[in-house]
Amino acid sequence: MNYEIIDLVDENNIIIGTIERTPEWNANRTTSHRFVDVYVKLSNGRYLMQQRAAHKKGALKFNSPVGGIVTSGLTYEQAAQQELREELGLDDKVKFVTAFKETLGSGEGFAFAEIFEIESDGPFTGWEAEAERLESFTADELNFMTERFPYLFTTGFIKGWSIYRQINNI
C-alpha cells in the first residue's frame, strides 16, 4: 500500500528525514512533524468550524475546518492551499497569520504549525469525508467555549485559537 510521505523535523523545524504516514504512525504521532490550519471567516464575521468525523483522530471534537499534516516536498502555504481545495473545495488564496510549536501529547516530539486564514462564504464542498458537520461561531462564542468547555475542541485548535485571538485582539 502507498502511504503519504511526510517530513520528519528536529526541534528547530529542520527536515531530518521522511516517514510514511501509516495508520500506526497516525494513531501515535510520536515523531516531530509539520501541520497547517486554515481558519475560515464568513462575511458575517462568524468562524466556520468542523465537528471531526467519528473515524478521525479527535473524533467529534470541533476543529478548524481545514487542516492537515504537510506532505513532504510542500511548503506550509502549498499544503494549506491543497487542504483548502480537498476539504472545502475552495481555491481562495490563503493568508499567513502565525506559526507555533507544540509538544506532542506523547512528550516525544513536536508539531510545528502554521495558521492561515481566508474570508469566504463558500460554497463548501468535499468536507463530508473529514467531518460530521460544519457549524459557525462568533469569536466571542469560541472564546467562551474554548475557555469553559475545552473538551469540545481538539487540543491543536485550543492552542492555535489562543494564539490567533491574541494576534487579532479578539
**pLDDT-derived band at 138, boundaries 50, 70, 90:** very high
Task: Identify the pLDDT of residue 106.
Answer: 64
Domain map (residue ranges) of the chain: 5-167
More confident residue, 31 or 48: 48
The whole model's pTM is what?
0.93
Tens-digit pLDDT profile for residues 51-72: 999 988 889 999 999 999 999 9
Q: Which CATH number fits domain 5-167: 3.40.140.10, 3.90.230.10, 3.40.50.2300, 3.90.79.10?
A: 3.90.79.10
- Give the chain as a 3 state SS string: CCCCEEEEECCCCCEEEEEECCHHHHHHCCCCEEEEEEEEECCCCCEEEEEECCCCCCCCCEECCEEEECECCCCHHHHHHHHHHHHHCCCCCCEEEEEEEEECCCCCCEEEEEEEEEECCCCCCCHHHCEEEEEEECHHHHHHHHHHCHHHECHHHHHHHHHHHHHCCC
* Mean pLDDT score, 88-93: 96
Tens-digit pLDDT profile for residues 91-136: 999 999 999 998 877 667 888 999 999 999 999 999 998 899 999 9
Tens-digit pLDDT profile for residues 2-42: 999 999 999 899 999 999 998 888 777 778 999 999 999 99
